[in-house]
């Protein structure tokens, strides 16, 4: 694990896992800032609400925010549905990489753990990794959910993160656990992902966590379970 004065950009979802991953990186002396990808059109603003509270709770430095609802809708509407989650993760990594390079971060941190969900098989993670040149660090990779929850309770993030998971209204069908990289790249070309990523990067908003305003109360939409 890296340490010292290195700087990491954490992909903070508002769920249980990513705050713990950021905390573990901090324990190694890494400076951690975070980026949140919103899907407000289809999932409301509860994930953003939780992410802002978690960023304050854990004392992260900077909070980057971008709504990628339109990007996700295009992936769902024009890409192969069984690769939706892999395509989504690759899109997020590409955006995060551009933000990281622009602001001098050394690597990305995610809350992914091996086999916890369909997109987190070894094969799919390898395909996701190839979306960027910047290093992706996964502090939770070999932990199970019970161990992650225990750490979340220990650091005081669990009560903010817990609750029903947000169903992605755009994901349908059975997701692939063995993504074919060539087919994924074909889908990315079909949806013009590089163009969508460039547009999203231009919409990223940065806020110092210490001076963030009180987040707006969650709005629940039909896409939320």
For residue 35, the cross-strand partners are: 11, 64
- Cα 124 to Cα 179: distance, rounded to the nearest angstrom: 6
Contact (Cβ atoms closer than 8 angstroms) between residue 157 and residue 20: yes
Contact (Cβ atoms closer than 8 angstroms) between residue 7 and residue 104: yes
Res. 224: pLDDT tops 70? no
Res. 191: pLDDT tops 60? yes
What integer pLDDT is reported at residue 219 of this predicted model? 66
- pLDDT tens digit sequence for 147-160: 999 999 999 999 99
- Cα 175 to Cα 166: distance, rounded to the nearest angstrom: 17
What integer pLDDT is reported at residue 69 of this predicted model? 94
Res. 146: pLDDT tops 90? yes
Out of 23-27, 45-49, 142-146, pick the least confident: 45-49
What integer pLDDT is reported at residue 119 of this predicted model? 76
In a domain, 222, yes or no: no
Q: How many CB atoms lie within 10 A of CB 18?
A: 24
- pLDDT tens digit sequence for 41-84: 877 888 999 999 999 999 999 999 999 999 999 999 888 889 99
What integer pLDDT is reported at residue 223 of this predicted model? 43
Contact (Cβ atoms closer than 8 angstroms) between residue 165 and residue 128: no
In a domain, 220, yes or no: no
Out of 94-98, 111-115, 203-207, 210-214, pick the least confident: 210-214
The rounded mean pLDDT for the chain is: 90
Contact (Cβ atoms closer than 8 angstroms) between residue 87 and residue 181: no
Instruction: List the CATH number of the domain containing 62.
Output: 3.40.50.620
Number of domains present in the structure of the chain: 1
Domain range for 147 is: 7-211
Average pLDDT for residues 193-199, to the nearest whole number? 97
In a domain, 187, yes or no: yes
In a domain, 65, yes or no: yes
Instruction: Write the DSSP assignment of 26-42 as a string of letters.
Output: HHTT-EEEEEEEE-HHH
């Amino acid at each position: 694990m890296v340490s010292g004065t290195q700087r990491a950009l954490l992909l903070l979802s508002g769920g249980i896992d990513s705050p713990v991953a950021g905390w573990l990186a901090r324990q190694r002396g890494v400076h951690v800032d975070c980026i949140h990808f919103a899907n407000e059109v289809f999932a409301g603003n509860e994930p953003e609400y939780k992410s802002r509270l978690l960023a304050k709770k854990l004392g992260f430095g900077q909070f980057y925010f971008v709504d990628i609802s339109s990007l996700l809708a295009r992936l769902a509407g024009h890409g192969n549905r069984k690769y939706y989650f892999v395509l989504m993760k690759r899109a997020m990594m590409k955006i995060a990489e551009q933000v990281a390079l622009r602001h001098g971060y050394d690597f990305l941190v995610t809350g992914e753990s091996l086999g916890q969900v369909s997109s987190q098989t070894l094969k799919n993670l390898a395909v996701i990794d190839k979306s960027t040149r910047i290093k992706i660090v996964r502090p939770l990779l070999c932990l199970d959910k019970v161990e992650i929850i225990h750490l979340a309770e220990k650091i005081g993030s669990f009560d903010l993160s817990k609750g029903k998971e947000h169903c992605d209204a755009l994901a349908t069908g059975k997701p692939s656990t063995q993504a074919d990289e060539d087919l994924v790249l074909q889908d990315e070309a079909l949806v013009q992902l590089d163009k969508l990523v460039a547009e999203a990067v231009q919409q990223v908003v940065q806020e110092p966590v210490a001076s963030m305003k009180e987040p707006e109360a969650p709005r629940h939409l039909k896409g939320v379970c």
